[in-house]
């Protein structure tokens, strides 16, 4: 079983997304709604290979908007919104003239239907505008189809920043959750700890594989033992929020959020949806009848129950 201390010590550069390679594409009519927002249309084709298309679109956007002297910047490729019902993935998030735009690529009827749903959800968030490039016309009578997915371990990536740990905590009191033991978050966090009991080493290995940490990119999942002394790993989650994850046999695996900048809805949604993802993953392990952790098993459940007995406004700070 791998040593967590050794792995965290040897981590290299942070994970960076690849944007693909430019290739030639056939000329076909492309529909777009840029003009609805007083934006210049762009002359681009869609090959059907998403990362290749994004590379070409970015290049064309920058060239076209530079010509028109329109300020444009790329925020994230891709960008993940964490909503109460699930995760909404946006292929490309842009800032144009100080306004946020979410660009979608539409190749067929199915992606057109999910775009309608994504656009509706972005409209409810108010500050995001949905623009598209499409191989087919987008009509007003098209029925939406859910654009949401469940939270995945791959929605997190490594972060090279060193946050101020004193600003981070597992939970803190808000108007919606005033007492830890009565909160929905406590129920979810306790369930996460119960579900992972005996399977922590599998989860760490699988999560490290999703983070593309060297040594963990192969087909099989490598187990990683919980350390006796607490260790931390900083990741970036949906909506580019920095999250600190701590590991120890005494307190188990815990998520820590910046309590000054993290919205309540974000924290609650991450905890609830990660609880569901961990339960689904653990069920798969159980079906394979894999051996549980023994010597490195955590006492995380005991820690949460102890915290529930205390009337603290901040739980699990550093």
pLDDT in tens, the chain (318 residues): 777 776 677 675 443 433 333 333 345 789 999 999 999 999 999 999 999 999 999 999 999 999 999 999 998 899 999 999 999 999 999 999 999 999 999 999 999 999 999 999 999 998 999 999 999 999 888 899 999 999 999 999 999 988 999 999 999 999 999 999 999 999 999 999 999 999 999 999 999 999 999 989 888 889 999 999 999 999 999 999 999 999 999 999 999 999 999 999 999 999 999 999 999 999 999 999 999 999 888 999 999 999 999 999 999 998
pLDDT at residue 12, as a whole number: 53
Token pair for 290: 């894999």
Tokens 């653990």 identify what position? 282
Cα–Cα distance for residue pair 20/56, rounded to 1 Å: 9
Position 18 scores a pLDDT of: 36
Helices 300-308 & 184-196 angle (0-180, nearest 10): 160
**Could you tell me whether strands 72-76 and 92-96 are parallel, antiparallel, or unpaired per DSSP bridges?**
antiparallel
Decide if 224 contacts 208 (C-beta within 8 A): yes
Provide the pLDDT for residue 278: 98
105's enclosing H/E stretch is strand 99-106
pLDDT, residue 297, reads 86
Write down all domains in the chain, each with its CATH number in brackets: 31-149 (3.40.1350), 151-315 (no CATH)
d(CA 229, CA 281): 26
Q: Which residues of 234-265 are buried (b: 16+ CB within 10 A; e: fewer)?
A: bbbbbbebbbbbbbbbebbbbbbbbbeebeee
Q: How many CB atoms lie within 10 A of CB 78?
A: 15
């Amino acid at each position: 079983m791998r040593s967590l201390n050794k792995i965290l010590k040897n981590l290299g550069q942070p994970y960076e997304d690849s944007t693909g390679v430019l290739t030639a594409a056939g000329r076909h009519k492309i529909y777009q709604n840029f003009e609805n927002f007083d934006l210049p249309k762009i002359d681009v084709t869609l090959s059907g290979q998403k990362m290749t298309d994004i590379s070409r679109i970015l290049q064309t956007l920058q060239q076209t908007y530079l010509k028109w002297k329109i300020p444009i910047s790329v925020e994230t490729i891709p960008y993940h919104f964490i909503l109460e019902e699930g995760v909404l993935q946006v292929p490309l998030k842009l800032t144009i003239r100080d306004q946020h735009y979410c660009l979608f690529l539409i190749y067929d009827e199915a992606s057109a239907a999910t775009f309608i749903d994504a656009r509706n959800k972005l409209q409810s968030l108010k500050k995001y505008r949905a623009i598209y490039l499409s191989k087919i016309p987008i009509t007003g009578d098209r029925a939406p189809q859910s654009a949401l997915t469940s939270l995945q371990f791959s929605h997190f990536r490594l972060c090279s920043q060193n946050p101020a740990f004193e600003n981070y905590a597992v939970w803190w009191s808000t108007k919606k959750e005033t007492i830890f033991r009565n909160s929905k978050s406590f129920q979810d966090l306790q369930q996460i700890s119960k579900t992972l009991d005996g399977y922590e080493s599998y989860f760490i290995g699988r999560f490290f594989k999703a983070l593309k940490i060297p040594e963990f990119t192969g087909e099989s999942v490598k187990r990683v033992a919980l350390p006796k002394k607490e260790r931390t790993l900083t990741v970036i989650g949906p909506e580019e929020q920095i999250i600190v994850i701590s590991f120890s046999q005494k307190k188990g695996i815990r998520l820590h959020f910046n309590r000054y900048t993290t919205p309540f809805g974000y924290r609650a949604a991450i905890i609830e949806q990660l609880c569901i993802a961990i339960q689904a993953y653990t069920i798969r392990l159980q079906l394979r009848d894999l051996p549980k952790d023994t010597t490195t098993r955590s006492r995380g459940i005991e820690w949460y129950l102890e915290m529930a007995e205390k009337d603290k406004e901040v739980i699990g700070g550093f």
